[in-house]
């Protein structure tokens, strides 16, 4: 049956404000950028708004950005001065923020509005190549600082109705995030091992098994070597929870990220039927 229900995504968002950079460092993200361009193509014009669960925002409980015109959060260091002047100018959506809060509260999950929260780089690093016209409203949802995977899966389940309302749900993090091991070769093996576990869990496991494995993700090979602090993994749980019984697929995979790390992004649920029918006709 054809549907316009949107899939959900867990996206590896790369390093710092990369879409705004020039020079050699920028080319590290060419494959990631191409995957985002392809994502925009397969979604067509179906998304009416975007909800980003960012690995760069955590609170006690959950907070929802509710301002009409979000500012910027320059949550990185060591970059040239001009990268602290950039602006991603998409509007917020107080109406969507209230709806997200209501859905969570109705599921027994504490959530509150935050009218001052701006776009952090977990959001604008993806949104700039994904929607460069800056015309689609964007709302952010924080993580809960306890990092409970089961709780974040529950959050995803509560937010699943948004998919039928034209709201694109994105979990923004990195499939490998160990900053102390990015330089040199120490991270190469662990990133491959953990990525292989992700592929097995998210793509080849039945939905019930997938959920069980995610709740117990610390048992995965190289789990803590890949994520000494799981802030960049937990957004995955929300994306999966919102499409828990639906198939997973890889949308981005790179074995030479940052000189030899393995990184991936994933989609959950089918791509919209409008794009499928175009592909079938080619």
> pLDDT tens digit string along 133-176?
999 999 999 999 999 999 999 999 999 999 999 999 999 999 99
Confidence of residue 258 (pLDDT cuts 50, 70, 90): confident
Asked if 176 and 229 count as a contact pair (C-beta separation under 8 A), the reply is: no
Of 1, 4, 5, 2, which Cα lies nearest the Cα of 160?
5
The pLDDT assigned to 140 comes to: 98
Helix (H, G, I), strand (E, B) or coil at 191: helix
The pLDDT assigned to 275 comes to: 52
Give the chain's mean pLDDT.
Answer: 94
Confidence of residue 25 (pLDDT cuts 50, 70, 90): confident
Gap between the Cα atoms of 126 and 95, Å rounded:
23
The pLDDT assigned to 260 comes to: 92
Stretch 91-112: mean pLDDT: 98
Gap between the Cα atoms of 224 and 248, Å rounded:
23
Confidence of residue 276 (pLDDT cuts 50, 70, 90): low
226: its two tokens: 């890949």
Quick: pLDDT tens for 179-211.
Answer: 888 877 999 999 999 999 999 999 999 999 999
Give the list of residues 6+ apart from residue 92 with CB closer than 8 angstroms, or none. Answer: 65, 66, 67, 68, 69, 70, 137, 138, 139
Asked if 13 and 172 count as a contact pair (C-beta separation under 8 A), the reply is: yes
Q: Which CATH superfamily does the domain covering 8-281 fall into? A: LigB-like (3.40.830.10)
Stretch 93-101: mean pLDDT: 98
Do the strands 8-12 and 261-268 form a parallel or antiparallel pair, or are they unpaired?
A: antiparallel
């Amino acid at each position: 049956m054809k549907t316009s229900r949107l899939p959900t995504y867990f996206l590896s968002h790369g390093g710092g404000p990369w879409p705004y950079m020039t020079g050699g460092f920028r080319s590290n993200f060419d494959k990631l950028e191409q995957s985002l361009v392809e994502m925009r193509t397969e979604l067509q014009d179906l998304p009416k708004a975007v909800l980003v669960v960012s690995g760069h925002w955590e609170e006690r409980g959950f907070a929802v950005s509710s301002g009409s015109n979000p500012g910027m959060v320059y949550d990185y260091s060591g970059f040239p001065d001009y990268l602290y002047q950039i602006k991603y100018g998409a509007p917020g959506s107080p109406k969507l923020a209230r709806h997200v809060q209501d859905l969570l509260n109705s599921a027994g999950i504490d959530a509150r509005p935050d009218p001052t929260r701006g776009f952090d780089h977990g959001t604008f690093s993806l949104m700039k190549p994904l929607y460069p016209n800056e015309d689609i409203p964007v709302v952010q949802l924080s993580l809960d600082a306890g990092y409970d995977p089961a709780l974040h899966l529950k959050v995803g389940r509560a937010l699943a109705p948004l998919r039928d309302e034209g709201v694109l749900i994105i979990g923004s993090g990195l499939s490998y995030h160990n900053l102390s091991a990015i330089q040199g070769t120490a991270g190469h093996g662990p990133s491959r091992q953990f990525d292989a576990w992700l592929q097995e869990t998210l793509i080849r496991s039945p939905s019930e098994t997938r959920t069980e494995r995610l709740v117990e993700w610390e048992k995965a090979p190289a789990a803590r070597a890949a994520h000494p602090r799981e802030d960049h993994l937990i957004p995955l749980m929300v994306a999966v929870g919102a499409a828990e019984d639906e198939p997973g697929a890889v949308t981005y995979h790179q074995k030479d990220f940052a000189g030899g790390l393995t990184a991936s992004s994933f989609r959950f649920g089918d791509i919209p039927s409008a794009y499928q029918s175009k592909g079938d006709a080619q």
